[in-house]
């Protein structure tokens, strides 16, 4: 079980697809395109924050259980890292206290018997680089997000991974890496991941 995570736009999906092919593992994609709540959330956070968090949590749990049953997989976001978004929503007043506490209780109960990942690949980048990539991929609802939100998310990610302890973490700065066009960058990450898988 390999998780890949990092701020929005960092290249999680691209790397996950490459690693899944290279390591011959099933790929479990973040439920973005079949998500009926996500676009609505960006236009009305107070109304859709809690259902969105629960939607992601439920879908990710389904995928983790399926991957565990099938002997492993690669995920383009870690189920644990959804808490980062819940923390921001609560801090900003988009999740009320009762919703936030219920969310934390749900995750605690779900994670008690959750299979642990072998490794988590954390992709680090600057806010500017992330915004560049977000603009290039052209999701309309992401383009309307204020820079302040991306900066806040970046800060929460850094803080979260200072305390993360569910698995081994491989931290990779991707500001000057190109998984699609540079085979050396792919080999570099593959060697790091294979090294952890062999332990």
Annotated binding site for substrate: 30, 42, 53, 77, 82, 142
Q: Give per-residue pLDDT as tens, 40-83.
A: 887 899 999 999 999 999 999 999 999 999 999 999 999 999 99
Q: Give per-residue pLDDT as tens, 88-117.
A: 999 999 999 999 999 999 999 999 989 999
Q: Reduced to 3 states, what is the DSSP secondary structure of residue 81?
A: helix
Given the residues 5, 34, 44, 76, select the one marked as catalytic. 76
Q: Is the pLDDT of residue 144 over 80?
A: no
C-beta separation of 67 from 114 below 8 A: no
Annotated binding site: 6-14, 30, 42, 53, 77, 82, 142
Domains assigned to the chain: 2-197 (3.40.50.300)
d(CA 90, CA 183): 41
| DSSP alpha helix (H) spans, the chain | 12-23, 38-43, 45-69, 82-91, 97-111, 127-137, 140-143, 147-163, 183-197
Torsion angle, alpha carbons of 135, 136, 138, 144, to 10: 0
The length of the chain, given as a count of residues: 199
Considering only 4-13, 26-35, 78-87, 105-114, which range has the smallest mean pLDDT? 26-35
Q: What is the largest CA-CA distance in the chain?
A: 48
Mean residue pLDDT of the chain comes to 90
Q: Is the pLDDT of residue 140 over 70?
A: no
Annotated binding site for ATP: 6-14
- What are the DSSP calls for 173-188, one per residue? E-TT--TTT-HHHHHH
Task: Name beta bridge partners: 119.
Answer: 2, 168
Q: What is the pLDDT of residue 178?
A: 87
Considering only residues 100 and 127, tell me which one the structure prediction assigns the higher pLDDT.
100
pTM of the shown model: 0.89
Q: What is the pLDDT of residue 95?
A: 96
Q: Note if 146 is an active site residue.
A: no
In sequence order, what are the residues at sequence separation of 6 or more whose Cβ sits closer than 8 angstroms to the Cβ of residue 169? 119, 120, 121, 122, 161
């Amino acid at each position: 079980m390999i998780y890949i995570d990092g701020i929005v736009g960092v290249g999680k999906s691209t790397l996950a697809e490459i690693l899944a092919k290279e390591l011959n593992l099933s790929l479990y994609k973040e439920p973005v395109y079949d998500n009926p709540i996500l676009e609505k959330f960006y236009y009305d956070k107070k109304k859709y924050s809690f259902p969105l968090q629960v939607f992601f949590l439920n879908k990710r749990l389904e995928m983790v259980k399926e991957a565990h049953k099938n002997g492993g997989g690669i995920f383009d976001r870690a189920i644990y890292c959804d808490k980062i978004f819940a923390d921001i929503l609560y801090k900003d007043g988009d999740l009320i206290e009762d919703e936030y506490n219920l969310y934390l209780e749900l995750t605690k109960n779900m994670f008690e018997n959750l299979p642990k990942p072998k490794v988590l690949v954390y992709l680090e980048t600057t806010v500017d680089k992330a915004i560049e990539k977000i603009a290039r991929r052209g999701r309309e609802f992401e383009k309307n997000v204020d820079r302040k939100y991306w900066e806040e998310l970046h800060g929460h990610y850094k803080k979260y991974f200072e305390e993360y302890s569910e698995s081994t973490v491989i931290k990779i700065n991707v500001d000057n890496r190109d998984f699609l066009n540079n085979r050396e960058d792919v080999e570099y990450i593959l060697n790091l991941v294979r090294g952890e898988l062999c332990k």
